[in-house]
Structure 1
Amino acid sequence: MTNRMSANPTGAYGPDEPLWETGRMARTFETVGVVGLGTMGAGIAEVFARSGLNVIGVEADDAALARGRGHLESSTGKVVARGRMSTQEQTALLGRISFTTSREDLAGADLVIEAIPEIMEYKRALFADLDRICKPSAVLATNTSSLSVTAIAAATSRPAQVVGMHFFNPAPVMRLVEVIGTVVIEDGLAAEVAGLARRLGKTPVTVGDRAGFVVNRLLLGYLNHACVLLESGLSSRDDIDVAMKLGLGLPMGPFTLLDLVGLDTSYEVCEVLFRESRDRRHAPAPMLRELVTAGLLGRKTGRGFYSYGEGTATVPEAGPKAAVSVAGIVGGVPEAARLLTDLDAAGFKAVVAEPSDLTPVADADVVIALSERPVIELAVRLPHPERLVGLHLVGDQVAEVASTVLTSDEAAGAVRDLVTVLGRTSVRCGDRAEFVVNALLYPYLNDAIRMLDSGYASAGDIDTAMRLGCGYPAGPFEMLDVIGLERVRDGLRALYAEYREPSFAPAPLLDQLVTAGVSGIRAYAR
């Protein structure tokens, strides 16, 4: 086998690397085995059968097999009910799937993919057995979401023919498939599996074998960080969720998402990430551990960060009401001018001051410091420091209202009322570097830059993975180019100065790009 791993660590071929250069014909995958027919495995079997492939579904016993068949009948039945499939097509699809409790029936399969629990010992034992049963040319694939594909492959005598093929739940709906190559994968195999994913109507991204791959490695770092900020008292559960959902346009806030994923699953993925990276950012937050230990796992147990089944939603309490006759604004010219215009249109009198001279706002009922950084330094320079409140406008819908240790409840409540009048949702928080949204967003972007710099995934694949895998409106590099590299770099420096967390230090690549005057990271990544 030609060793081309130094140039292409995932074994994937670009347009200038045709498969015939390897001296062999590309495989054809016509019969596929799926081991494990739980919700995920049944969904994977459905995806293959929908594309005309013959599928052999394997379960441990008759009861589990019946449940797996039930998953498939229920899932396809819903598609029929929505008018997207006829009953004849459903019958034909199910007819392409055979059900068995014997792994020996996989002997003739071209590819076998496992979807069993995320326990390394179970997967290695299964792959050792599949290696014995399956024909020499068969490819063995794992649907693991975070475990080492290399370690699983090492349990076989054919590690070059083992690949990761990570589908997302629900598999029939989610378009993304992460194709994971190892340092020993056969040249071209990752590209062939990616081609199979496209045949299934999916969008593949080809990455190297790192814990969590792309989506879980980036997502769980962010979710775990949200838990840490909640524990620190920076902001409330509801305010953080609102800030990230409305401020960034994410499908849901971090705590709602953790409850949906399952706190036990999230905890286990964090453990896997930490064992490999030894990065404190991946060490499960104590709050997450406590909830898991208490059996509060999210939606599936009826309670996690939120309680479910009561038919009511938790709404943040309204702040105290206070009349404002004069508002002082301190901050940069564009932001201050915008807020001044909005307040004037709403009928409020406002005056503006620069941070270098606070005299114009000294007697205002409240003083609003437009900032993403701690504002206590400004407060202590005022005759009434209790009247100063930090304000960070996020997008068009959210305003973070930051109270210093001196801010009065009346002043904070008055600014929240002003924010409501201006048609924004207020997010209450403490006076910490980058407040809430940027404090969660910038380290996530930094993680993506480190991932790119490590060379195991491209900028385009990382963006695609986060958009399709998480439903984000934009990938991390698309966000970076909109925000600006220098602004993110400076924000990370402020976070590092505040928290002294090593992972908050700007990635070396980010520092270099800013120093070199590179306008956008996607232009560099090409």
Structure 2
Amino acid sequence: MASTFETVGVVGLGTMGAGIAEVFARAGIAVVGVETDPGALERGRGHLDGSTGRALSRGRLTEAERAEILGRVAFTTSLEDLSDCDLVIEAIPEVMDFKRALFTDLDRVCKPSAVLATNTSSLSVTAIAATTTRPGRVVGMHFFNPAPVMRLVEVVRTVSTEDGLAEEVAGLARRLGKTPVTVADRAGFVVNRLLLPYLNHAAALLEQGLSTRDDIDTAMRLGAGFPMGPFALLDLIGLDTSYEICEALFRESRERRHAPAPVLRELVTAGLLGRKSGRGFHGEEPPANPSAEEKPSASTVAVVGGTAANGTGAADGAAEAFAERLSAAGFKTTPVEEADLVVAVSRTPVIEQAVRLPHPARLVGLNLVGDQVAEVASTVLTSPGAAQVARGLLRILGRTSVSCRDRAGFVVGALLHPHLNDAVRMYESGYASMEDIDTAMRLGCGYPAGPFEMLDRLGLETVRDGLRALYAEYRDPSFAPAPLLDQLVTAGVRSIRDLSS
């Protein structure tokens, strides 16, 4: 029998729970909001008052509309008041014991036909459902913060969920004005299962000294087009939350990339949790000193292509274009032997080129990423002065420089290619469709394009070859290209999305 969902209960009225209650009330649905004690209940009421008050001040609600929304929410400290609800959603802290205990109580209190939903972002919905006598009526309904604004809802079905129930809950999400993505019960679902390994990988690369925090953030924001850099996003999510999601992923997968990076554990242990504590990866820092900006001091520059070993071969197209820009800016290009600075325009490490030069300390690798970023790779032989000159030169050319060590993938490739590979593996396993994965990452993370759209834009072969280089360097099995990606490149397929058409 189809559910009507005319009365909904929300247990836990923190920022997320109050936001969920507001979403239902805005859709004309009666809500019963439950908290543990009168103080918490008043704070929950305050969250709802504040959110709707801000919408009123911005002209997004009228006084009458706000009054109607607030009038649809009843507040209580008693779970017994949920007895007539058609759906109850919990939004309590991400602690499995707390959730299992609550669902045992909800199973006792709620009518047999009621659907019980968890807003968990990473815990097992199956394990939560197993505490009830109605596992077939239990689903995940994962909203994103802030719930009134974010359009995505992940609807999670378990092996026990009744046929058709996930589709009914997805229909309810559409009634709320949301875009649902329906997935099976795996840790992290879609968004966190793809997002957190990427963020954790960034923390690991920082710890390994590949690049600095600010340069990594800049590379992924301006180079990859992400709305925030990984460390800014980790601070926004909360390092404790991020740590727990990584732990949940690792418990299920046992993959090395899912194990929280040691620096993440250290910061959490120190209580440096990001924005919520005032300091995380980012915090109070002294202002930048404008006089410390690098200025190019090289009068002559040599540009070589990524395939040229000693500067005598023909530079590739990217190198030629870069050399032309240098000349137009007034820099003198010269043969390698006479140059103060040698720039190797390359997508791959340049140490082998450096050792063949008469002055290897003068060579830097340069990878142009998009229209704004240039990765400046220093080998173990590169002098600090050469890297400094290269950064100053790039600033004159209007490029933002990102300094890094001479490693496979540099910064953007090292982070982006494994991230896209994870999406291919997710699709290949049958867990979610390409369309749902792209939708989830666009709406849940604000990506300008979904992972499969990015794959097509970058080129399947480029990403496959980048992964092969990462695997050869780091020997991490998760960097090996997904079998499907390898097969598509071998078959000459241009667009991975052709598979879903």
Fold shared per TM-score above 0.5: yes
Distance 2:365 2:288 in 1: 28
SS at match of 1:299: coil
Match of 1:425 among 394, 400, 404: 400
Shift of the alpha carbon at 1:321?
4.0
Distance 1:316 1:299 in 2: 30
Match of 2:275 among 283, 299, 302: 299
Match of 1:345 among 328, 346, 355: 328
**Aligned position for 1:496:** 471
Amino acid at match of 1:344: S
**Aligned position for 1:484:** 459
- Residue pairs, 1:37-52, within 5 angstroms: 37-52=13-28
**Aligned position for 1:215:** 191
Distance 1:175 1:328 in 2: 48
Distance 1:46 1:98 in 2: 12
Change (3 A) 1:281 1:84: same
Amino acid at match of 1:507: A
Amino acid at match of 1:438: G
Does the 8 A contact of 1:41 with 1:115 survive in 2? Answer: yes
Distance 1:305 1:424 in 2: 25
Shift of the alpha carbon at 1:390?
0.1
Does the 8 A contact of 1:238 with 1:315 survive in 2? Answer: no
Change (3 A) 1:459 1:259: same
Shift of the alpha carbon at 1:372?
1.8
**Aligned position for 1:100:** 76
**Aligned position for 1:334:** 317
SS at match of 2:333: strand
Does the 8 A contact of 1:463 with 1:476 survive in 2? Answer: yes
Distance 2:415 2:257 in 1: 12
Distance 2:288 2:153 in 1: 34
Does the 8 A contact of 2:301 with 2:343 survive in 1? Answer: no
Does the 8 A contact of 1:57 with 1:100 survive in 2? Answer: yes
Question: 2:228 aligned with 1:245, yes or no?
Answer: no
- The two structures, once aligned, show a CA RMSD in angstroms of 1.5
**Aligned position for 1:386:** 361
Distance 1:513 1:314 in 2: 50
Distance 1:329 1:316 in 2: 31
SS at match of 1:303: coil
Question: 2:389 aligned with 1:406, yes or no?
Answer: no
Does the 8 A contact of 2:173 with 2:180 survive in 1? Answer: yes
Shift of the alpha carbon at 1:324?
2.5
Q: Deviations over 1:392-433 (max 9, x none)?
A: 001101000001111112211111111111100000110000
Does the 8 A contact of 2:303 with 2:319 survive in 1? Answer: no
Match of 2:107 among 128, 131, 143: 131
SS at match of 1:108: coil
Amino acid at match of 2:201: H
Distance 2:388 2:286 in 1: 29
Shift of the alpha carbon at 1:362?
2.8
Shift of the alpha carbon at 1:156?
0.7
Shift of the alpha carbon at 1:49?
0.1
**Structure 2-normalised TM-score?**
0.96
Distance 1:183 1:197 in 2: 21
Change (3 A) 1:320 1:410: farther
Shift of the alpha carbon at 1:320?
6.0
Distance 1:348 1:509 in 2: 46
Match of 2:167 among 191, 194, 199: 191
**Aligned position for 1:13:** none
Shift of the alpha carbon at 1:148?
0.5
Distance 1:212 1:316 in 2: 46
Does the 8 A contact of 2:438 with 2:453 survive in 1? Answer: yes
Does the 8 A contact of 1:324 with 1:414 survive in 2? Answer: no
**Aligned position for 2:118:** 142
Match of 1:264 among 236, 240, 243: 240
**Aligned position for 2:31:** 55
Distance 1:231 1:109 in 2: 49
Distance 1:313 1:37 in 2: 41
| Count of aligned pairs between the two proteins | 493
Distance 1:135 1:219 in 2: 37
Amino acid at match of 1:513: L
Distance 2:118 2:467 in 1: 36
Distance 2:446 2:82 in 1: 35
Distance 1:521 1:181 in 2: 27
Shift of the alpha carbon at 1:329?
2.6
Distance 1:477 1:313 in 2: 38
Amino acid at match of 1:322: S
Distance 1:314 1:225 in 2: 30
**Aligned position for 2:444:** 469
Amino acid at match of 2:482: A
Distance 2:80 2:446 in 1: 39
Match of 1:89 among 61, 65, 87: 65
Distance 2:342 2:267 in 1: 40
Does the 8 A contact of 1:518 with 1:524 survive in 2? Answer: no
SS at match of 2:497: helix
- Residue pairs, 1:165-184, within 5 angstroms: 165-184=141-160
Does the 8 A contact of 1:326 with 1:364 survive in 2? Answer: yes
- Residue pairs, 1:438-457, within 5 angstroms: 438-457=413-432
Question: 2:419 aligned with 1:434, yes or no?
Answer: no
SS at match of 1:406: coil
Does the 8 A contact of 1:400 with 1:427 survive in 2? Answer: yes
**Aligned position for 1:415:** 390
Distance 1:311 1:233 in 2: 22
Identity of aligned residues (%): 73
